[in-house]
Chains A and B, each alone.
Chain A
Amino acid sequence: MPTPPPTAQGEARLLRLVERIKDDDPLAFEELYRLTRDDVARTLFHLVGRRPDLEDLVQETYVRLMKAVPGFRGESQFRTFLYRVCANVALMHLRWWRRRREDVMEEVPDRIAAGEDPERAAQAAQAARLVHQALATLSAKKRIVFVYHELCGMGPEEIAQAVGSSYNTVRSRLHHARLEFTAALRELTRAEEARP
């Protein structure tokens, strides 16, 4: 299921919850969590790939979000603000994995769903596996920009706000990420075809 496009109504509802959280209503945070957790999980899934500790990352995101929400000034959409928190969590995680130089993706069982059509689900799972392998060749920052643009449907301006960089930096990262991703995917496809 693709990430649902943000609607003005959904955004207005989130903003009302944010106001309540700022007014020291912790229960509003629980509601915010229920409304956004699927989106956060899907975004992190694409940002870091198949990881055994995806749930931990979701929790980390909400722990950070609770601290960060009072600082939200409404200068961007709340969704962008939420993606910024996701990006920070993902960046930290990707760097950490890179330092460990371990790749546990092969060991992680597929926990991917895609609607009720099993054939479609299998295709989506296969495509996701391939895409995540290709994404693994990108640097963390390029990967975040690429995922936000190509998988989450965000524009460069919104990404610039979400990652705290300039518009031109985002364009540049996206440009290089596209080249690297295409090359990596080409190699992976060839390797798959060559496999007996």
Chain B
Amino acid sequence: MMRHDEARLWEYAARELDEGDRRMVDAHLEDCPECREALATVQVAREALETAREAWPVMDWSRSDEVVGALVERRLAAKARRPWMFRFAMTAAVAAALAAGAFALLRVEAPSPAPKVAEADVPPMPPAGPTIRVDSAVGLTRVGRETTAVEGGAELSGGDVLRTSLAGKAFVHLPDESHVRVAGGTQLALTRADVDDVALTLERGRVAVRASHAERRGFVVHTGGLTVHVVGTVFAVSNSGDAMEVAVSEGRVKVDLPNGDALMVGAGQRIRLDTRSEKPQRLKLTPGLERELSELTEVADATAAIEKQVVVPAVGGRPSAPPMVASSGAPRGLPRLSAEESQRRQVTVQEPVAAVEAPVEATPSAPIATRIEPKTEIIVAGPGDAWPSMAGGVLRNMPPAPEPKPASQPAEWAAMPEPRADEWAPMPDRAPKAEAAPSPSPKVADEWAPMPEPKADEWASLPEKAPGAAAPPPAPARAPSKLGKKGVAPKDLETLFLQRAEAAMGKGECERYLLGLEDIAQDAERNTRTEQARVLRARCFSSQLRPRQAMNEYRKYLFEYPSGRFVDEAHDALGDE
């Protein structure tokens, strides 16, 4: 180095020089005290940079989360509108082309005595493509700019985001003839749902899928970095936030892991991926999952049978029980029966109801079909519509009837797995309608009784028995005299839920109760429970160091209960703003 070059010294200090240059600098430094001093300065600068690298800003992510969340919501909303706009544009274009063609034809042929173009000669408008249809739904909403309740028979579009309440459940029929069972406490985006291409994004909760064997470009389910590729199979995907699981009961799926690896999961297998360690664990399929998947299969079969307009005998009904016949309407429309016809075709239970509730998991290793006890539903009042239950019986009050009656719930909910400890909290269905329902049948008294304590395990800990088989010790709040349709009065369930939420707060585990608390707090009829729910939400956010959300809840509280019991607490939290 003939001259002093500080930048060269930086490269020397950073070991960016090759061996020859390094020796030259070494030699120069021996003779040049000025450069040795400059090198010391460079090294000080590099050390400062090294230390500064360890500093990072403490960010308040709430605003950024909101902005990005709003961006995503807008995209989703725009996407949900797109198919309608596209269809409208296509329809308009076709109509314009036809009109132009017909006009040209008329003008050309006008001088001749040939007959005019008859209306019947004009080709009909192409029908809209296959749609996504909700076969049945309890507690299902479509999330977007406006959250709307979705009922059975409703049609959905690609891009829709669905959310089920904690006690909710839905069966969705995709255009490629695949079926999806959406469990309670789930949020699922129908990212793409075409005849030849399906992509679902599970944000949280659990879905079971029976993919059809139709030829298509792809069928994938995304969740938390996992991508499940499907060929034609029955499987379930869950995302509890802490772990993701993929379970397969038929066929095989390929799972792309977040680290880039891929795994094949075969029938009877389950993989679990902890989101922290990202290490996959191979496990066996649990009986609860098998039951869920078989339920989906039965619904899919029943729906397929209806669409082919075949007669479906009521499984489990007596041989003489009248078969369920689908109407011959539009292929994808709901089979609707008149009230009289429906009354006539009612299936009556001839055996004790307790037999219906027999333990379905008594022989977990036996084939699924033999383990499912036949279920038959009772129709109490003359319905406007009828719909096959998954077991082949008849469920009533499907759309357009607005509210599913409790009489149809047991068969649906009998197979509902118990909530998991790390999932959403076991939110009771507040059903004021249950109070007005007819007197309970012998079996419905047990429907809500086994509301479980959250378990530490995941699916592996699902009950080995059907809910009605054995009830855990009843909670003290449940007074038999107040039993509603489901065995426990809804108000008591809410009280129980609030007690649990409060107890969980002491353990710092209140987050999973937030959704249920909001559900209670939003009740139109304000009372001590709704008031407590609002305050518990605020306290929960506060305990989680989420002051913005906590203050929001306290503001809502003051607005809703200006002279409530916790006004002082709210004012204190808001700093008397």
Residue B225 is within 8 A (CB to CB) of chain A in the complex: yes
The stretch of B38-46, B100-108, B391-399 that contacts the partner chain: B38-46
Q: Is A59's CB under 8 angstroms from B63's CB?
A: yes
Whole-angstrom CA separation of A151 from B57 in the bound complex: 14
Are A55 and B63 in contact, CB atoms less than 8 angstroms apart? yes
Chain A interface: which of B252-260, B343-351, B472-480, B512-520? B252-260
List B residues 259-275 near A (Cβ within 8 Å). 259-260
For the complex, would chain A's binding face be called helix, strand, loop or mixed by DSSP majority? helix
How far is A127 from B44 in the complex, measured between Cα atoms in Å?
A: 11
Contacts of B222 in A (CB 8 A): 20, 25, 27-28
Which of B67-75, B109-117, B229-237, B423-431 faces chain A?
B67-75
Residues of B within 8 A of A178 (CB): 6-7, 10
Q: 1/0 contact trace for A56-73 toward B, CB 8 Å?
A: 001100110010000000
B559 within 8 A of A: no
A46–B56 Cα gap in the complex (Å)?
A: 9
Query: A-facing mask of B431-450, CB < 8 A → 1, else 0?
Result: 00000000000000000000
Nearest-Cβ distance from residue B11 to partner chain A, whole angstroms: 9
| Residue pair A62, B57 in contact (C-beta under 8 Å) | no
A42 within 8 A of B: yes
How many chain B residues have a CB neighbour from A under 8 Å? 46
Which of A24, A125, A127 interacts with B192 by CB under 8 Å?
A: A24
A25 to B159 Cα, complex, angstroms: 8
In the assembled complex, which residues on chain B have CB atoms less than 8 Å from the CB atom of A37?
Answer: 59, 61, 64
Task: Decide if B76 touches A26 in the complex (CB within 8 Å).
Answer: yes
Contact between B59 and A41, CB atoms less than 8 A apart: yes
Identify which of A26, A115, A121, A186 gathers the most chain B CB atoms within 10 Å of its CB. A26
Give residues of chain A (39-54) contacting chain B, Cβ–Cβ below 8 Å.
41-42, 45-46, 50, 54
Assess whether A89 is interfacial by the CB under 8 Å rule. no
Q: Contacting B191 at CB < 8 Å: which of A24, A38, A66, A181?
A: A24
Q: Pick from A2-10, A93-101, A160-168 the stretch touching chain B.
A: A2-10
Contacts of A150 in B (CB 8 A): 46, 49
The residues in B between 46 and 99 inclusive whose CB is less than 8 angstroms from any CB of A are: 46, 48-49, 51-61, 63-64, 67-69, 71-72, 75-76, 79
Given contacts A20-B222, A26-B75, contact A54 B59 (CB under 8 A): yes
Q: Indicate whether A179 reaches chain B with its CB closer than 8 angstroms.
A: yes
Q: Is B533 an interface residue (CB 8 A)?
A: no
Q: How far is the CA of A115 from the CA of B51 in the complex (A)?
A: 12
Output the nearest chain B residue to A152 by Cβ-Cβ distance. B53
Q: Using known A-B contacts A26-B76, A127-B48, determine if residue A12 contacts B260 with beta carbons closer than 8 Å.
A: yes
B203 adjacent to chain A (CB < 8 Å): yes
The answer, yes or no, to whether B376 is at the interface (CB within 8 Å) is no
Tally chain A residues at the interface, Cβ within 8 Å: 59
Contact with A along B179-217 (1 / 0, CB 8 A): 000000000010110000001010100000000000000
B51/A127 in contact, CB under 8 A: yes
**Which of A62, A175, A178 has the most chain B CB atoms closer than 10 A to its own CB?**
A178
In the complex, the answer to whether B79 meets A24 with C-beta atoms within 8 Å is yes
Question: Within the complex, what minimum Cβ distance (angstroms) separates B218 from chain A?
Answer: 10
Contact A189 B57 (CB under 8 A): no
Residues of chain B within 8 A (CB-CB) of A131 are 48-49, 52
Q: How far is the CA of A128 from the CA of B42 in the complex (A)?
A: 16
Residues of A within 8 A of B42 (CB): 182
Q: Are B64 and A59 closer than 8 Å at their CB atoms?
A: yes
Cα–Cα distance between A123 and B48 once the two chains are bound (Å): 9
Shortest beta-carbon distance, B555 to chain A, in Å?
Answer: 22
- Contact in complex: B256, A63 (CB < 8 Å): no
8 pairs, A vs B, C-beta closer than 8 Å: A2-B53, A13-B260, A24-B191, A30-B69, A55-B60, A112-B55, A124-B54, A178-B6
4 closest A-B pairs (Cβ-Cβ)? A26-B75, A127-B51, A128-B55, A12-B260
